[in-house]
Amino acid sequence: TEQTIRAAAFRSKIMSADDAAALVPPGANVGMSGFTGSGYPKAVPQALARRIEAEHAAGRPFKIGVWTGASTAPELDGALAKAKGIELRLPYQSDPVCREEINSGRMEYIDIHLSHVAQFVWFGFLGKLDVAVIEVTEILEDGTLVPSTSIGNNKTWIDLADKVIIEVNSWQNPALRGMHDIYYGTRLPPHRTPIPILAAGDRIGQPVFSVDPAKVVAVVETHGPDRNTAFSPPDATSQAIAGHILEFFEHEIARGRLPRGLLPLQSGVGNVANAVMAGLGQGSFEGLTAYTEVLQDGMLELIRSGRMTLASATGLSLSPEATRIFNDEAEALKKHVVLRPQEISNHPEVIRRLGVIAMNGMIEADIYGNVNSTHIRGTRIMNGIGGSGDFARNGYLSIFMTPSTAKGGTLSAIVPMATHVDHTEHDVQVIVTEQGLADLRGLSPKQRARVIIDNCAHPSFRPALDDYFARARARAAGQHTPHLLDEAFHLLTPMPSSDKR
């Protein structure tokens, strides 16, 4: 305890997770730490879920608002959703129980661009933040807090909540200290000044959180690892997608539109993203950098091999094996990794200035290049937009990738009209499937449709898409973006009954 909680004033506030959870009133908006499975509180949310279940059993209503950085873990989203304790959740989530609660209509969910969340709370757009529950690794002598494996919105939660509950997780490596860069220069309009980041690795803030000690109502000690999802090794489809992207990069270098070290990379999570990173490790690229949200296995390997010199992110998203490596080598990795608040890791101004190459997954794209990242059949949420919109709209290049079919080949990922649009045709420059790559830059809608169908659609769906496009060209009233609204969704085959998300 003396080592991790060094400020005596905070030691007097040490209590059990159950006692800390008792300090959260029904109806409170609670800002929790946590970003894609890293740095979330391990004990208080579960204690809160137990308390909520007990209250419900006694016939008393009890729900809270849950605000996070991004997705968390079964111990947070899963436990609270299972207890039917969440009135409203924001932003990105990926928990199966949470997803089911949202899609059944029992839980409200607001899907917000990750860079917007903190400022919306400062603007007062989302209401009052009552409590913050934040995982840290240490409380220093001067009462500042050493962040854990993600930053997310923690600075904002600590600044704006009335009550702050701190979880000190002794499982996390103390060597994390110094890896973080917490920017305290954000202001509200009209008093804003430029964010002074000119290169991915620039440090512009302080390595710790400041907190008003008078607001800290509880300190809870924990000892547990982050949620770590194992990646399956890249399959043939992911490798084919990665191959098309790497060939495209070589082509852009040859045309003088990209330097050999490329530009700072942003990449989503998942197997395709990892396959792209693995591919970059085998290519001739040197001096790579990343300005991204999450540091995943593939990027860690690029750093360890010396091909990537610097990665800026807001959280880790590592497999158990990569977590072990990261912990063993944290001291050396500190020179190459910066963790920042998500309003800075995803800041449109910085993304535009640095010229980030955005690479994100999608559910479906239509023949004109509108991308659906979030909704199955236009109605059921999968995860959320996450940071994909921050990067896609503001990046130097905006790439979206997916296998050309889903559900065992029964559904086409290329459709006549997207059932929900997260990224409009204006924000999408490149679409990639295992079939090939469609470079949409400089093309009109009808020209886009031709390359998307020819290069990206699966051969089994190409004739139907060709037929739709030909008849839309013959019959649609408007010939800028020709559509047949009475049959735009006919290509959708019935959903397999197994898909009851």
* Residues contributing to the annotated binding site for CoA: 268-272, 363, 383, 387, 407
Q: By CB under 6 A, name the one of 169, 342, 360, 481 that touches ligand 0RQ.
A: 360
> CA nearest 358: which of 301, 400, 316, 317?
400
Q: How far apart are CA 179 and CA 173, in angstroms?
A: 11
Q: How far apart are CA 66 and CA 346, in angstroms?
A: 21
Contacts of 234 (CB under 8 A, 6+ apart): 242, 271, 274, 275, 278
Min CB(408)–ligand 0RQ separation in Å:
9
Bridge-based pairing of strands 364-366 and 371-372 is antiparallel
CB atoms within 10 A of CB 58: 8
Counting contacts by CB under 6 A, is residue 361 touching ligand 0RQ? yes
| 3-state class (DSSP) for residue 407 | coil
Q: How far apart are CA 289 and CA 239, in angstroms?
A: 21
Using the contact rule CB under 6 A, the part of the chain among 21-29, 208-216, 320-328, 381-389 near ligand 0RQ is 381-389
> CA nearest 263: which of 253, 273, 272?
253
Min CB(24)–ligand 0RQ separation in Å:
25
Q: By CB under 6 A, name the one of 160, 381, 406, 476 that touches ligand 0RQ.
A: 406
Counting contacts by CB under 6 A, is residue 77 touching ligand 0RQ? no
CA distances from 288 to 302, 397, 428 (A): 8, 16, 23
Counting contacts by CB under 6 A, is residue 373 touching ligand 0RQ? yes
Site residues (CB under 6 A) for ligand 0RQ, limited to 108-137: 114
Q: By CB under 6 A, name the one of 85, 387, 395, 436 that touches ligand 0RQ.
A: 387
| 3-state class (DSSP) for residue 29 | strand
Counting contacts by CB under 6 A, is residue 310 touching ligand 0RQ? no
What is the DSSP code string of 128-156?
Answer: ---EEEEEEEEE-TTS-EEE-SB-TTHHH
Q: Which is nearer to ligand 0RQ, 131 or 290 (CB)?
A: 290
Binding mask 83-112 for ligand 0RQ (x = CB under 6 A): ---------x--------------------
Counting contacts by CB under 6 A, is residue 362 touching ligand 0RQ? yes
Segment (H or E) for 194: none
Using the contact rule CB under 6 A, the part of the chain among 115-123, 175-183, 318-326, 357-365 near ligand 0RQ is 357-365
CA distances from 441 to 88, 138, 355, 431 (A): 39, 48, 16, 11
101, 135, 167, 293: the catalytic one is 293
Counting contacts by CB under 6 A, is residue 68 touching ligand 0RQ? no
Counting contacts by CB under 6 A, is residue 226 touching ligand 0RQ? no
Site residues (CB under 6 A) for ligand 0RQ, limited to 4-63: 36
Bridge-based pairing of strands 29-32 and 131-139 is parallel
Using the contact rule CB under 6 A, the part of the chain among 105-113, 129-137, 239-247, 265-273 near ligand 0RQ is 265-273
Q: Which is nearer to ligand 0RQ, 383 or 455 (CB)?
A: 383
Counting contacts by CB under 6 A, is residue 270 touching ligand 0RQ? yes
Counting contacts by CB under 6 A, is residue 431 touching ligand 0RQ? no
Q: By CB under 6 A, name the one of 5, 21, 32, 70 that touches ligand 0RQ.
A: 70
Residues placed in the known binding site: 268-272, 363, 383, 387, 407
Q: How far apart are CA 106 and CA 170, in angstroms?
A: 36
Using the contact rule CB under 6 A, the part of the chain among 200-208, 264-272, 300-308, 451-459 near ligand 0RQ is 264-272
143's tokens:
């009462």
Q: Which is nearer to ligand 0RQ, 458 or 483 (CB)?
A: 458
Q: What is the dihedral of CA 88, 149, 326, 328, to 10 degrees?
A: -130
Counting contacts by CB under 6 A, is residue 388 touching ligand 0RQ? yes
Q: Which is nearer to ligand 0RQ, 302 or 363 (CB)?
A: 363
The CA-CA-CA angle for residues 470, 474, 476, to 5°, reads 105
The full length of the chain comes to: 501
Instruction: Check if 293 is active-site.
Output: yes
- Which residues participate in catalysis according to the annotation? 293
Interacting residue ranges for ligand 0RQ, rule: CB under 6 A: 36, 70, 92, 114, 268-270, 272, 293-294, 360-364, 373, 376, 382-383, 385-388, 403, 406-407, 411, 413
